[in-house]
Amino acid sequence: MATLDQLKTHIEKAKIEFSDAIEKATDKKNDLVSRQKRKKVKRLERKVAKIIAAEKMAEEKKKPKKERKSATTEG
């Protein structure tokens, strides 16, 4: 599985490819290649968010249950 740093470099590369695809496209909204590149960027961003959320939940699990509940109700 990819690490966070690897995913961030992949996202940067995918964003560059996406911007290049938009520039080359004649029909900006319905171009197949640009849509695929945009989907790739969004997919990678979701993967990063999932990893970060999993790490955050692991940290929360280390706390006692009473502290976890008070932290979620406050903010």
Write the DSSP assignment of 20-35 as a string of letters: HHHHH-SSTTT-HHHH
Q: Which two tokens stand for residue 26?
A: 């004649």
Q: How far does CA 74 lie from the centroid of its chain? A: 26
Structural domains of the chain, count: 1
- pLDDT at position 73 over 70: no
Residue 66 has pLDDT above 80, yes or no: no
pLDDT band at 70 (very low <50, low <70, confident <90, very high): low
Domain encompassing residue 44: 4-74
Q: Which of 13, 3, 15 is nearest to 54 (CA)?
A: 3
Tens digits of residue pLDDT in 2-54: 788 999 999 999 999 999 998 888 877 778 888 999 999 999 999 999 999 99
- Give 75's DSSP letter: -
Coil vs helix vs strand at 39: helix
